């Protein structure tokens, strides 16, 4: 497939073409020319889109697709199509399946399901067998099979010694440990952030301390062992400060924040709508603003959709009983454009590749063509008809989004929304 992308504004702070509108010529999956007014040729398709912007391919560090075991929620094939149409060239797949992805064969299986897709899939292996927090899983074998990191999705590791051993063990092969932070004993039976809203609604609260105490413990362990730790979906001001201080001390720690924690607050819970039941829970506006500050000052390295499809049987029930999670790939960029500048969004949607050792490709001549196509203009209200996922549990239904992803060019394939 030979293509010429016309009048595309490149957003890439490391490119000499940053913020310039140029044409991009792609031959057999390679960028062969970048410049003004590239002449049209007989064997090339011309791609012209309104207010076209192009950046390095976006990477999502936390998605769930259900397969194997929960194909009713989502399949790998459709999930990767959703990711492509949402602007993501690469996604890291959580091990939250049935069975849990905790061995070499499971990693090979999900990779086989993703073969020939436009969006590249990068499996995260479970840190413990069955994600039960009792025994270390087959980390080295999984990395050899293609796993990019190890963590138990949305499960805290109560056994501090087990995390210590894992951090020490993975250093032999430069592995990355993902340490979800929520003390289950302090969380108790809480379902929302402990504060004014939980009191008003009569819902059991989760103290911010449940996250912060676990992060403090995990950072102490990291300081003792060395190695690399990634803390996913941080959600409190104190959490950000703890990580900021750890980075200043030279610890090899990174972290992410979810789109919904940057955009929404716990005020949306007023109608007990379970679409807003997520983990960590949504917080008050002052904390939301502190998280944005953490993004802007570089403490927070990655923004993730934390995409988690759940079918209606798991969401349409009493608030206390409903499962945590929201789909988020389709809305990630448009929601973020309401709270952050475009260049910051692109930086946080691409910077995670280095952390997870995912191949990254510059937008320059003779480089592999792997990029996201999007526009920063136009507002639209997100409706159920806009959801591409099999499950419809979006926390952004009815929200006004700004700009949108057109699609991607990756792995020699062009995917553009109709």
pLDDT digits (tens, 9 = 90+) for 147-156: 999 999 999 9
Residue ranges of domains in the chain: 3-53+365-416, 58-355
320 classed as catalytic: no
Beta strands of 270-356 (E only): which ranges? 302-304
Q: How far apart are alpha carbons 47 and 380 in whole angstroms?
A: 23
Q: How far apart are alpha carbons 286 and 295 in whole angstroms?
A: 15
What is the rounded average pLDDT of the residues 188-205? 96
Question: What phi and psi, each to the nearest 5 degrees, are found at residue 134?
Answer: -110, -40
Q: pLDDT band at residue 290, thresholds of 50, 70 and 90?
A: very high
Residue where the block lists tokens 């929520």: 182
Supply the pLDDT for residue 386. 94
C-alpha closest to that of 75 among 84, 85, 83, 67: 67
Q: pLDDT band at residue 202, thresholds of 50, 70 and 90?
A: very high
What is the rounded average pLDDT of the residues 121-128? 98
Q: pLDDT band at residue 169, thresholds of 50, 70 and 90?
A: very high
Q: pLDDT band at residue 294, thresholds of 50, 70 and 90?
A: very high
Q: pLDDT band at residue 2, thresholds of 50, 70 and 90?
A: very high
Any idea of the CA torsion for 163, 169, 174, 180, to the nearest 10 degrees?
-10
Residue where the block lists tokens 């700009």: 403
What is the rounded average pLDDT of the residues 363-370? 94
Supply the pLDDT for residue 270. 93
Q: How far apart are alpha carbons 329 and 88 in whole angstroms?
A: 8
* Residues with Cβ within 8 Å of residue 202, at least 6 apart in sequence: none
Q: How far apart are alpha carbons 177 and 171 in whole angstroms?
A: 10
By residue count, the chain amounts to 418
Q: Is the pLDDT of residue 80 over 90?
A: yes
Q: Degrees (nearest 5) of the Cα angle 303, 123, 127?
A: 90
Question: What phi and psi, each to the nearest 5 degrees, are found at residue 398?
Answer: 85, -5
Q: Is 163 helix (H, G, I), strand (E, B) or coil?
A: helix
pLDDT digits (tens, 9 = 90+) for 236-254: 999 999 999 999 999 999 9
Pairing status of strand 21-27 against strand 53-56: unpaired
Q: How far apart are alpha carbons 232 and 253 in whole angstroms?
A: 11
Question: What phi and psi, each to the nearest 5 degrees, are found at residue 24?
Answer: -125, 125
What is the rounded average pLDDT of the residues 400-406? 97
Supply the pLDDT for residue 324. 96
Q: Is the pLDDT of residue 418 over 80?
A: no
C-alpha closest to that of 407 among 95, 55, 96: 55
CATH class label, 58-355: alpha beta
Supply the pLDDT for residue 417. 87
**Both tokens of residue 296?**
């802007």
Supply the pLDDT for residue 14. 85
Q: Is the pLDDT of residue 4 over 90?
A: yes
Beta bridge partners of 371: 56, 409
* 3-53+365-416 matches 58-355 in fold: no
Q: How far apart are alpha carbons 371 and 413 in whole angstroms?
A: 11
Q: Is the pLDDT of residue 3 over 80?
A: yes
CB 260 within 8 A of CB 326: yes
Supply the pLDDT for residue 1. 80
Q: How far apart are alpha carbons 312 and 412 in whole angstroms?
A: 36
For residue 357, with 0-12 CB atoms within 10 Å meaning exposed, 13-18 middle and 19 or more buried, which class applies? middle
Q: How far apart are alpha carbons 14 and 37 in whole angstroms?
A: 23
Q: How far apart are alpha carbons 353 and 92 in whole angstroms?
A: 10
Q: Is 318 helix (H, G, I), strand (E, B) or coil?
A: coil
State the pTM of this model: 0.96
CATH class label, 3-53+365-416: mainly beta
Helices first, then strands: H and E counts in the chain:
14, 18
Proportion of the chain above pLDDT 70, given as a percent: 100
Supply the pLDDT for residue 335. 98
> In angstroms, what CA-CA distances link 25 with 32, 49, 168, 357, 373?
6, 15, 46, 27, 14
What is the rounded average pLDDT of the residues 358-376? 95
Q: Is the pLDDT of residue 88 over 80?
A: yes
Indicate which residue of 60, 102, 183, 306 is catalytic.
306
**Both tokens of residue 399?**
């929200």
């Amino acid at each position: 497939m030979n293509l010429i992308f016309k009048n595309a504004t490149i957003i890439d702070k490391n490119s000499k073409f940053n913020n310039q509108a140029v044409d991009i010529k792609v031959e057999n999956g390679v960028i062969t020319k970048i410049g003004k007014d590239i002449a049209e040729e007989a064997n090339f398709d011309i791609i012209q889109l309104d207010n076209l912007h192009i950046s390095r391919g976006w990477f999502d560090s936390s998605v769930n697709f259900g397969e194997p075991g929960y194909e009713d929620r989502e399949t790998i094939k459709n999930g990767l199509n959703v990711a492509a149409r949402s602007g993501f060239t690469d996604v890291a797949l959580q091990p939250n399946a049935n069975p849990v992805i905790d061995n070499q064969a499971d990693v090979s299986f999900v990779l086989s399901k993703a073969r020939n897709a436009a969006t590249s899939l990068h499996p995260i292996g479970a840190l413990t067998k069955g994600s039960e927090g009792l025994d270390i899983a087959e980390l080295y074998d999984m990395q050899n099979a293609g796993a990019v990191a190890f963590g138990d999705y949305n499960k805290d590791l109560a056994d501090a010694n087990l995390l210590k051993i894992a951090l020490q063990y993975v250093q032999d092969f430069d592995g990355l440990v993902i340490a979800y932070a929520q003390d289950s004993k302090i969380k108790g039976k809480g379902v929302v952030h402990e504060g004014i809203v939980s009191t008003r609604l009569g819902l059991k609260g989760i103290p911010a301390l449940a996250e912060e105490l676990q992060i403090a413990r995990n950072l102490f362990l990291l300081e003792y062992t060395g190695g690399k730790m990634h803390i996913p979906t941080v959600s409190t001001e104190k959490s950000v400060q703890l990580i900021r201080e750890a980075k200043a001390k030279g610890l090899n720690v990174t972290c992410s924040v979810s789109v919904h924690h940057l955009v929404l607050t716990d005020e949306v819970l007023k109608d007990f709508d379970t679409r807003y039941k997520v983990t960590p829970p949504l917080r008050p506006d002052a904390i939301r603003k502190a998280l944005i500050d953490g993004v802007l000052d570089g403490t927070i390295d990655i923004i993730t959709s934390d995409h988690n499809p759940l079918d209606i049987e798991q969401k349409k029930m009493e608030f206390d009983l409903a499962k945590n999670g929201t789909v988020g790939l389709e809305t990630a960029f448009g929601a973020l454009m309401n709270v952050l500048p475009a260049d910051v969004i692109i930086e946080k949607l691409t910077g995670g590749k280095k952390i997870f050792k995912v191949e990254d490709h510059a937008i320059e001549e003779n480089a592999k063509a792997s990029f996201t196509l999007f526009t920063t203009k136009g507002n639209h209200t997100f409706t159920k008809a806009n959801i591409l996922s099999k499950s419809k549990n979006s926390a952004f239904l009815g929200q006004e989004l700004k700009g949108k992803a057109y699609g991607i060019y990756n792995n020699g394939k062009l995917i553009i929304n109709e």
